[in-house]
Structure 1
Amino acid sequence: MKLVGISGALIGSKTAKVVKEVLLRAKQKNPAIDIELIDLRKYKIEFVDGRPLESYNDDTKNAIEKIVEADFFVIGTPVYQASITGVLKNLFDHLPTTVFETKIVGFVSTAGSNHHSLVAENQLRPILSFFKALVGSKNVFVSNDSFDRENEIVNEDVGRRLNDLADELLFLQGKLKG
């Protein structure tokens, strides 16, 4: 069973940090699962332009392959200009429309202020619904004031909510797979 995290940011480390926290907490709770973080800062994903997937660069093909092969997911996005990132949307545009069908997906989002707390709910959830994902209910928003200067999560409530998200992903995946 493989849990893949996707961090949809090209700059900064907070979103990747939050996604990785969920992965690590899930692994701690169930050491039998495999976890992997797809941090888009480390990939050169080409823009979708209508070509078949096999004609894109290796980073694009490898990221898509990892997503297609995964069993369940946690997806993270920072909020820029009151929206999910373009690089994350571009990644979604590469995916087959059945990639998340009957797969468990949770999400996290980060932003500079609490004014953006519902962006992922209002924008990411409909995209995941289009892909027929089974979206969890314990998704987490993390504002910048939840981190210290070294980008460590210092807000205990955020830690509890990340733990709850990891629990929910494992629970739902266990129920789905029987």
Structure 2
Amino acid sequence: MSENNAPWVGLAARVVRVALMRKDVGYAELAKRLAAFGIRDDEKGLAARVAVGRVRLELFLQILEAVDSELPTIWCSAMESAQPWETRAKEVIRCELNQIPPFSVDELASRLAQLGAGFTHKTLVAHISSGNLSLPDFLKCLVILRSRSLDAFVEYRDLVSAAHLQIVTVDNADGCRA
């Protein structure tokens, strides 16, 4: 994990842990519930995946569904569909992009690159368009879009602080700021 991605990984882990704590669900129970979605991971595997930030948006949505968490209102239409989970993740991103003012995928990818997302612009566009984002990168998107969708799980100001730290870290690495 890169140093400048550490705050995002920590926030992503916090978001998942808060979702579980709010419903009093541990990793062992989560593993059982996720099996209904075809996810074959044991409690240690899930805990490790969360801790190191290897949670994709698709899995996060499955976790929210598995623990019967209340969803952000703007995601409801995307989550109520019987579409595959990757499509639901794509639709959640689309819902976020369509807030006022609407953002294009290209514009969001450019801003993600500025936050040091670690991918080329073309790859970021592909990840956003397909819904194939990691949860840490999705959290970056929420800051860029000024979305308060996950306020029930993490304070928005903590997301903004992580963005500020990352911008300073990226700029210092480039020698732009002191």
TM over 0.5: no
Of the two structures, which has the highest relative contact order with CA contacts closer than 8 Å and spacing of 6 or more? Answer: 2
TM-score by length of 1: 0.28
Larger Rg: 2
Greater percentage in helix: 2
Greater percentage in strand: 1
